[in-house]
Amino acid sequence: MRQLLRTRRRPGRWLAAVLITGALALLVPGVSYATASQSSPASLSARADVTADVGCRGVTPGVIPAVGFITNPSRTQAGHLWWRAEAGGACIGTVIEWVQYNTTATKNWRVIVYSGQHPMGQVVAHRTFTLGRGWYWWSFGVHQVFPGVSAVCVTADDSFGVACLHFS
């Protein structure tokens, strides 16, 4: 009977240990806000101040699915943006992009909008970063109306993947 009780308790202990270890693993590697020369801690909840910008402001959230190294630490998204319907198009507000680096590398992060005027895509924001191992995010203030927008994509050089949110 004692052996049975020990066996039954272990799965609970292992589960607790796994959950605690998993939670710490998400916090310890450090998610960082990308800058050209350094990084500092940040999180997804640290959103860009959309209200301070002039021009169009997106108010509807949209999630860009994760692709390759264009991903957040939980691999649930490549980024997100705020948008709203406008007469003749869509206003694209702030675009947040997540990128995972496995080694120190220099990558050109880009936001590409596909629209009626630019069916082959138009780079509307970009920034080049040299960063070390870890996850990073950057906030791009786009704040433009795009007639006939069909997709908004983010990439950090095509070799890292291209993730897109498609509009219908």
pLDDT tens per residue across span 73-86: 999 999 999 999 98
pLDDT value at position 160? 87
pLDDT value at position 101? 96
pLDDT value at position 30? 42
Strand partners, 152: 113, 165
Whether the model pTM is above 0.85? no
Spatial distance between the Cα atoms of 58 and 14, rounded to a whole number of angstroms:
45
Token digits for 82? 């705020």
pLDDT value at position 55? 66
pLDDT tens per residue across span 62-108: 999 999 999 999 999 999 999 999 887 899 999 999 999 999 999 99
DSSP label at residue 4: H
Domain 31-166 CATH assignment equals 2.60.40:
yes
Regions of the chain short of the pLDDT cut 50: 1-54
Spatial distance between the Cα atoms of 154 and 66, rounded to a whole number of angstroms:
10
